[in-house]
Each structure stands twice: as C-alpha cells, then as structure tokens.
Chains A and B, each alone.
Chain A
Amino acid sequence: MKKQLLWILVLVICISAVTVFSLTGCREPEVVVETVTETVTETVVETVQVESGEKVIGLSLAGRYSLAFIAGEDYIRRTADEKGIFVVTTVAENDVVKQAQDIDDLIARGVDCVVAVPIDSKSIVSSIEAAHAADLPFITYNRMEDPDASERSDAFVGQDTVAQAYDAAVELSKILEADGLAAEDVKILHIQGDLRDENAVNRIDGFEKAAEEFGWEIVAEVPTEWNPDIALNGTTNALQANKEINVMFVASDFLWPSVKTAMQSQDVLYPRGEDGHIYVASQDVFPVGYQDILTQLIDTDAVFDVGQMSVRTVEIAEQLMNGEELSERIFALQGRVATFDNVADMENLWGKEYQ
C-alpha cells in the first residue's frame, strides 16, 4: 500500500513538475506575471501573459519531417522576433484531425493571427471558418485552401507547385537538347512523394505534363510516402529492373540522399559530362541539393523559396494584426530553377544560406 502511494505521489509530482518546468523552460519570451485581484467574493487569479501589447502568431505546421518546413519555421520566428511578435507553434504530423484541433487550441489560447500550412486544402476550410468566427485573420502558407471554398483565407503565401515541377522539367529539356539526347530516347524514373499529399500530387502532375509535351517515356514510378527508406529501396529496385533509365524526376531534395545512395549502389552516379550520367530534375534546393547541383549530379532543381515565403508571411500577418487592408490576397512567389550555370550567383537561396 505504501509502495503504491509512493508511486502515485511520484506521478502527481512528475506531472506537476513537468507542467511547471515547461512554463519556465520551454516558453519564450520571458513572461510577465500579473496578479489580478478580484472582489472579495471572487477568486484571486494569477495569469501569465506575454509582455503587454505583444502580438502573437499561432503557427500550425503540417509536420517537421522536412528540413524545408523546419527552415520555414525558423525564418518565421526570426522575422517575427525582429518585429517583436511572439510565435506559438503546433505540429500536426500530417493528420488533418490533429491540425483542426491544434488550430482550435490556438484560437482558444488567444492568438492574434493564425498561420497554417494546410495538410489538406479542403479540411483547412473549417479552421478558417473557426478563426473568422473568432475575428482572427488566417493566412495559408505554402498550400492554399480550396479555391471553391465558401470561406477563404485572408491571404495565401506560396508557390505554384505544379509549375515548380513543370519548370524544372522544361529546364532539363534544354540540357538534354544541348547534350544531344533525343526525346524518344528519354527513359524516366519518376520518384514521387506521398500520394496523400496535395503538393506531391501537384508535382507529379507538373512532371507528367512536361513528359507528355516533350514525348518522354516514364518507365518506372516509385511512390515514397516521403519516406527515405522507401525511396532508397524503391530507387534501387527500379534501377536494377530498368537498365535503360537515363533521366530521373525527383519529387524533392528531401529524398535526394536516398536516391543518391541507390544510384551509387547501382554504379550509375556520374556527374554531367561523364559516361553513364543520369539526368536529374529535382525540387526545393535543400542544402544537400545545392551541393550536388555544383557537382553536376543534379541538373535542374526548382527552388522552394521558403526564406522569402516566411518573411512575406510575417509581414502580411503584421499588417493584418494591425487592421490594415491588403492590396491583394494571393502572394505567389516567382518560381526559379537552379542549374549549374546559375546556382552560385542566385540570391536568397535558403539551401545555400541555411545550415
């Protein structure tokens, strides 16, 4: 009995300690404790608030499994910090149910603006409705809500992900032409993202549109669920089974380390200009992708301008929180494609700057 009580006491103390610890150890910035004394018949309540007057952005991330998302969050925090804006972050782990609950929690917490990376363009609409019902502005970042939705966000900041993939393929076509590879000889391995992810599906559509236009043949597809292990095994198997593959579409540099390893294991990893080179069109320009553009293992890479998107998002959030009207609603950043010829001179490239 004593042992049990001891266990229970430990449990209670641990839960309490964790709660208190998280307040002092995990919250930023330093909090100001205000004591509000009500009338004699009411309770004395102590509330912990952010420094008075400080605005709060509630940031709902789809996930933190990609360096691009982590970098985006970092840029948002840095920019917000410079402006004296506090950011509270939730992570939905690619679960629309959790994202809806997270945003409800942020609204209940009393944030001044909600910024969300929607997992799903339709499911996010209910959260936009909830935010607007609470008189809060809502910004969609990276993915827009359904264009036919009855309730629209106050602003969208992002890129056209179909165009992103398409543009990478178009730049690749110029390289293939320069190297004398005829369209009918192009045999493509298409390494895809998660088929449940709208942006991944958009990139598939972009690549396939280009392939159809140029008359290229896709001989193998590897859906990876954004899982590096699946990407490694799938690419290895596809390269073993299809020796004629001479071009790859890669859904994101996030998968590139696995793809590169697979190519190495099959002895098909050669830079452009050497015999056996497989032409690679990729997306996002991660730090690892940037390096391999310079070594000419990757031929074209569409930039995912996460730095600019993040800065713009905070600027727009600030405007909305101050009650200002925006000149437009959609802020779609101009797509850029990095190649060996231009990447070293490209400015504001997060893959080059972010470590």
Chain B
Amino acid sequence: MNFKLNLKSLKENLYSLILVLAIIIVLVLLSVFAQGFLSVNNLTNVLRQVSVLGLLVLGISPIIIIGNIDLSLAIIMTNSAIVGVSVIQRTGSVSLGILTIIAIGVSIGAFNGIFIGKLKVVSFIVTFSVMMVGSGFAAWYTRAISISNLPEYYRLIGNGQIGFVPYSFIIYLVFIIITHLLLNDHYIGRMIYSIGVNPKASKLTGIPSEIIILFIFIYAGLLASVAGIIQSAKLGSASAAMGRQGMILDYIAAATVGGISIKGGKGHVYNALLGTFLIVILTNSMNLLGINYYVTLIIKGFILVLIVGLEINRRKVTNKL
C-alpha cells in the first residue's frame, strides 16, 4: 500500500483507521459478553465465513469502483456450483468439476461484461436479469434436490484447515494478493480507477473502457465461482437454496461499509477486507448473543446508512482540499 504523505491521503486513511478502531472496540465488548466469541472454534468459523463472503466482496469492489453494480454474484456462485458438482457426481472427476465451475462463473461474468461494457446496458438491469434467470435455472435444474455425494478430498477445500486457519481462508488470501496487485501495481488498476473517477474523460484519453469493464466482470464471475467451490465443498452439496437475497445485501454492504466508495473511483483491497470482517463479525456476534435475526438486519441497515453518510460527508470535505 502506498501512503502518500499529504493531508488528503491522511484524512482518507484516517477513515479506515477509525473504522478499525470501531471494530476493535466492538471486538473487546464481544469478547467479554458473547459466549464463545474468543474460542478457537469460533475464530475458525469466522475465517471460514469471511473467505466465502470475502471473495464476493473482492469481486464486487472493482465493479463499484468503476461506478457499476452486480446483483448476480450470489447466483453465479450457486449455479456454477450446481452444475460443477453434478459433473463431479456423474464423472467422478473433481478437476473436471472445478474447471466446469470456473468456466460457468467466467462465462456468466463475460455475459454481464459484454452487455454492460459493449452494449452499454445499465449494470443493475443486466445483473438483476441474470439473477432472475439464474434463480429459475437453479430451481429447474435441481428441482429442490441437492446434488451431493462428493469425494472427501473435494470437501477438504471447504472443511480442511491448518491449525485454526481454514484452507478456504488461505485461498481467499491468495485472491486478496492478486486483487491488490491488480488494482495497485498494474496498469489495469489505474485504468479502473480512471474510469471510476470520470468515464468520459477516460474514454477520451484512449482507455479501452469496454475491455476493462468486460475484464472486471469476468474477474468477479471467477471469484464468485471460487466461492461456489468453497461453499459446495463445505456443505458437501450444491442446491438452489445456496446464497439468496440476504447474501447480495451482505456483499454490497461489506464493500460499502469497508470504504469502497459508492460514487466510484475510490477504494482499496483492504477496504474490502475490513468491510467483510465487520459484516461477518456482526452476524456471528448476533448469533452468539442470541439476538433476534430481524434485529440484526435493523442493526446492519443502521450501520450501513451511518457509514455511507459518513463516507459522503468525508468526500465532500476531502474534495474541498
């Protein structure tokens, strides 16, 4: 990470530091009051939950940075897992199944990217439609029957761990590094931020925005398919009931709360990481405290509104500098 030594950058990083402080305070309170919160078992749980949601958040982050949205990531995760797992079940080949899962995720991502980047259809409409089609496909393909009987070594992806660190979290860390390098150390990253700040100016300067948009939606589809691999491995099955509407809210909220600007043009990988941990810890702690699920939704919504308000206010202040 490059921390430029100027006041504007300090203010932006101050936001993230304060968010970390808020998380630490909540963690301290939870460690005292939430039974089992600090147990090794729970820590492993949290890391496992972070890895699945985190991959979706990593996928949505560049999309939000360029000023778009993707409502289809959860259904990409579900459908790629359903088809891939059925390939594993029928052929007995885990590698073929994994390739199928990734191919489907990438293909749907490409579909989104073409319609949004090339044909200029609004991202909300395209991804919402894909979500609807995907839901119908999942229900039709499975007829409410889960596809299971997976080999134990496939299930290790979702259930295995080294010490208290799940394999899935290690996979997530790898993608964090890749995404960080992409956004921060590669010219593609600079193009992504440029498009997010000013799409028209970017086009005028010769940035191939259609190709960049296609690329980031494909990348998001890839990450969603990897989430599908991990989730189906953890559950030992794939079904149409994986990842419903609640997951969409979680991954968008995590990205936004973590500091990926909804106005586009700003955000880092560590924002995605921060937001993911916050959302997962919130849900985990509410379960440990025995708090009513609907109260949890109210709290999540309240925090989201507060954080977004803070973010908008912060941008007004920093833009004045």
| A and B together in one complex | yes
**In the complex the two chains form, what is the Cα distance from A7 to B314 in whole Å?**
10
- Whether A89 sits at the interface, judged by CB under 8 Å, is yes
Bound CA span A188–B301, Å = 44
A120 touches B239 (CB 8 A): yes
Do A134 and B41 touch (CB < 8 A)? yes
Docked-complex contact A122 and B234, CB < 8 angstroms? no
Kindly provide the distance from the CB of B271 to the nearest chain A CB, expressed in whole angstroms. Answer: 16
Residues of the B chain whose Cβ atoms lie less than 8 Å from the Cβ of A102: 287
- How many angstroms between the C-alpha atoms of A196 and B287 in the bound complex? 26
Chain A residues whose CB sits within 8 angstroms of the CB of B310 once the complex forms: 4, 7-8, 11
A47 to B33, CA, bound (A): 6
Q: Contacts of B246 on A, CB cut-off 8 Å? A: 93, 95, 98
Please report which residues of chain B, range 285-321, place their CB below 8 angstroms from some CB of chain A when the two chains form the complex.
285-295, 299, 302-303, 306-307, 309-310, 313-314, 317
- Determine if B35 and A19 form an interchain contact, defined as CB atoms under 8 angstroms apart: no
For B147-174 the 0/1 string (1 means CB < 8 A from A) is 1100000000001000000000000000
- Are B139 and A195 within 8 A (Cβ)? yes
Interface residues on B, range: 35 or more
A332 at the A/B interface (Cβ < 8 Å)? no
Q: When the two chains form their complex, are residues B293 and A47 in contact, meaning their CB atoms are under 8 A apart? A: no
A14 at the interface (CB under 8 A from B): yes
Instruction: Pick the interface stretch among A104-112, A238-246, A250-258, A321-329.
Output: A104-112
Total CB contacts across the A-B interface at under 8 A: 185
Whether A19 and B29, one on each chain, are in contact in the complex, defined by CB atoms closer than 8 angstroms, is yes
Contacts of B241 in A (CB 8 A): 94-96, 119-120, 123, 196
State the Cβ distance, B283 to closest chain A Cβ, in Å.
Answer: 7
In the assembled complex, the Cα of A282 lies from the Cα of B292 at a distance in Å of 31
Tell yes or no: A101 within 8 A of B by CB: yes
Contacts of A45 in B (CB 8 A): 32
* A262 within 8 Å of B (CB atoms): no
Whether A122 contacts B29 by the Cβ 8 Å rule is no
Q: How far is the CB of A226 from chain B (nearest CB, A)?
A: 12
Which of A47, A94, A126 touches B235 (beta carbons < 8 Å)? A126
- Given the known interface contacts A95-B247, A106-B287, A108-B36, the answer about A122 and B30 at a Cβ–Cβ threshold of 8 Å is no
Contact: A104 with B45, CB < 8 Å?
Answer: yes
Point out the residues of chain B lying under 8 angstroms from A7, CB to CB.
306, 309-310, 313
Bound CA span A34–B36, Å: 15
Q: Decide if B45 touches A22 in the complex (CB within 8 Å).
A: no
Interface secondary structure of B, over-half rule = helix
Q: Which of A73-128 contact B (CB under 8 A)?
A: 88-91, 93-98, 100-102, 104-110, 119-123, 125-126
Q: Is residue B25 contacting chain A, with contact meaning CB distance below 8 A? A: yes
Q: Do A3 and B143 touch (CB < 8 A)?
A: no
Which single member of A19, A49, A88, A126 contacts B290 (CB below 8 Å)? A88
CB pair B234–A100 under 8 Å, yes or no, is yes
Partner of B313, one of A3, A88, A95, A104: A3
Do the beta carbons of B45 and A47 come within 8 Å of each other? no
Most chain B beta-carbon contacts within 10 A, residue among A12, A19, A134, A194: A19
Expressed in whole angstroms, the Cα–Cα distance for A49 and B34 within the complex equals 9
Please give the distance in Å from A229's CB to the nearest CB on chain B: 16
Residue-wise interface mask of A (172-205) relative to B, using a CB-CB cutoff of 8 A (1 in contact, 0 not) = 0000000000000000000000111110110000
| Distance between Cα atoms of A200 and B139 in the complex (Å) | 13
Across the interface, which residues of A come within 8 angstroms of B245, CB to CB?
93
Residue in chain B with minimal CB distance to A100 = B235
Cβ-defined contact, A94 with B39, below 8 A: no
The residue that A11 contacts in the complex, of B34, B144, B146, B306, with Cβ under 8 A, is B306
What 10 A-B pairs have minimum CB-CB distances, sorted nearest first? Answer: A122-B146, A108-B42, A105-B287, A91-B293, A122-B148, A88-B290, A122-B237, A109-B36, A196-B240, A201-B144
A88-B287, A196-B240 known, 18 other contacts, Cβ within 8 Å: A11-B303, A11-B306, A15-B22, A18-B302, A19-B26, A19-B285, A22-B291, A22-B295, A23-B289, A27-B289, A89-B293, A96-B241, A101-B45, A108-B42, A121-B146, A122-B148, A134-B41, A146-B146
